[in-house]
Amino acid sequence: MNRIVAIVVALAALVVTGLGGAVAAGAQERVLPSGKGEVLLSLAPAVREIAPSVVNVYGARVEQRQAHPFLDDPFFRQFFGDGGFGVPRERVQSSLGSGVILDASGLVITNHHVIADMTEVKVSLHDKREFPAKIVLSDERSDLAVLRIEGEGPFPAAQLGDSDALEVGDFVMALGNPFGVGQTVTQGIVSALARTQVGISDFQSFIQTDAAINPGNSGGPLVDLKGDVIGINTAIFSRSGGNHGIGFAVPSAMVRLVLDSARAGGGIVRRPWLGARLQAVSPEIAQGLGLERPAGALVAAVEENSPAAQAGLKPGDVITEVSGHGVDDPEGFGYRFSSRPLSGEVAFGVLRAGKALTLKVALMRAPEQPPRDPVTAGERPLSPFAGATVVNLSPAVAEELSVNQSDKGVVILDPGSSARYGFRRGDILVSVNERKIANTRDFDSVWRILPRYWRIVVNRQGRILRTELQG
């Protein structure tokens, strides 16, 4: 027994001695850090670079509340006054979001939905200065807006980066003002690129990130580790209102187009005109065309004398690339094509009858033919068109309102009071009381009549809607 104990003790001593030697050897390999930078990896330099350019955006508008019907009677007004039963006639509607200065003269990019319908906008800078701001351009289709700070500059401007250089796995930061608590920074990675079918805006090719984008972050920048703006935070995927690790940002390529349009003094964003109708490639279509997978944008129709026709694009072609960037669906194509500047040409990768082609398409603006010739219906109490403004449909109007360019006729630019009957911006008037509406002159004569019944046919995004209203 004593021999066994002695052996165990000897082995234990050997193990301890060996471990001690290993620890000693390891200790000799260690090098003490020479400074804080070697102890911690920090995002502070990038945050210091971008933070002064991030602003808080406040919007407000005054809404007129409907007065109580008793207030029309002078008898009740002498008791309750014009305010009426303690309820104010006016109500202030407000919004809160974020933005980023991208020009030292005071141009700020934010989201369209942050300032939509706002009559008063203010921005608060990182150093607590506050300025009124003017809405220079607001583009619902990309959900972007440009503001101009009404104050003496120069202002701290951020650099616009290249979203096309991003890769899945790249580190990014989201800055903004969630919940109105002050500027915050969240960090994550790019989890996907060219996300479509999200349903946020017309041009869908979003940067997806797991950096927390909370309410109030909308309009703030998504930046890389150099502090360059590579996107504008727009939305989160959530069922509860909180962040669940999926946020979406508009790529900087689209931001650049909107910003350049504002600098040029345009009230709207001018985008290239294709002159073709596209549709998704379904598995059945892919099999019929001999494609390996259902990807690309299928050309369904081509307008005469359009850039698509002049380039030789034909129905049945499948667009697979725009300027070397792959296209998975019509939404992805729309982003790649519409974010190009209005000059020169762009190369399309096309599959035609199983053969790969390259076509050069001119980057030009859509024509205003026929002229708009706007007409606004008067505020007649029994007319369903009261206050509606209509224009002739041209390729330029079709592009602006995101309607089918092959349709003809008259389109509602602003529904006005007719919105209460369900009319919307972008509705194409086909006929009224069996009379075809070919131009705004036809509409000008129709809205003035007072028939017993109104029979109205509308084309809404390809759907024919028929309605009857009593006059």
* Domain 48-149 sits in CATH 2.40.10.10: yes
pLDDT digits (tens, 9 = 90+) for 327-359: 888 888 988 998 888 889 999 999 998 899 999
Please identify every residue annotated as catalytic: 113, 143, 218
Question: For the chain, what is the mean pLDDT?
Answer: 81
Asked whether the predicted pLDDT for residue 213 surpasses 60, the reply is: yes
CATH number of the structural domain 276-362: 2.30.42.10
* Range 163-263: architecture per CATH: Beta Barrel (2.40)
CA 444 to chain centre: 35
Q: Which residue has the higher pLDDT, 252 or 407?
A: 252
Q: How many residues does the chain have?
A: 471
How many CA atoms, within 13 angstroms, populate the side-chain half-sphere of residue 81? 6
Q: Are 308 and 291 in contact (CB under 8 A)?
A: no
Report pLDDT for 58: 86
Helix axes 330-338, 252-263, angle to 10 degrees: 40
Asked whether the predicted pLDDT for residue 38 surpasses 60, the reply is: no
Q: Worst-scoring range by mean pLDDT, 11-25, 89-103, 245-259, 286-300?
A: 11-25
pLDDT digits (tens, 9 = 90+) for 125-138: 988 899 999 999 99
CA 380 to chain centre: 37
Amino acid identity of residue 137, one-letter, is L
In angstroms, the CA 175 to CA 187 distance is: 9
Report pLDDT for 172: 92
398, two tokens? 């079709």
Domain with CATH 2.40.10.10 in the chain: 48-149, 163-263
DSSP 116: T
Q: How confident is the model at residue 25 (pLDDT cuts 50, 70, 90)?
A: very low
| CA-wise closest residue to 109 among 183, 57, 167 | 57
Report pLDDT for 22: 42
Q: How confident is the model at residue 242 (pLDDT cuts 50, 70, 90)?
A: low
Asked whether the predicted pLDDT for residue 239 surpasses 90, the reply is: no
Report the pLDDT averaged over residues 94-118: 89
pTM over 0.85: no
DSSP 381: T
DSSP 366: P
Report the pLDDT averaged over residues 166-186: 83
Q: How confident is the model at residue 198 (pLDDT cuts 50, 70, 90)?
A: low
For 292-346, give the DSSP string.
SSS-SEEEEEE-TTSHHHHHT--TT-EEEEETTEE--SHHHHHHHHHTS-SSSEE
CATH number of the structural domain 375-470: 2.30.42.10
For 22-61, give the DSSP string.
HHHHHHHH----SSGGGT---SHHHHHHHGGGEEEEEEEE
Domain with CATH 2.30.42.10 in the chain: 276-362, 375-470
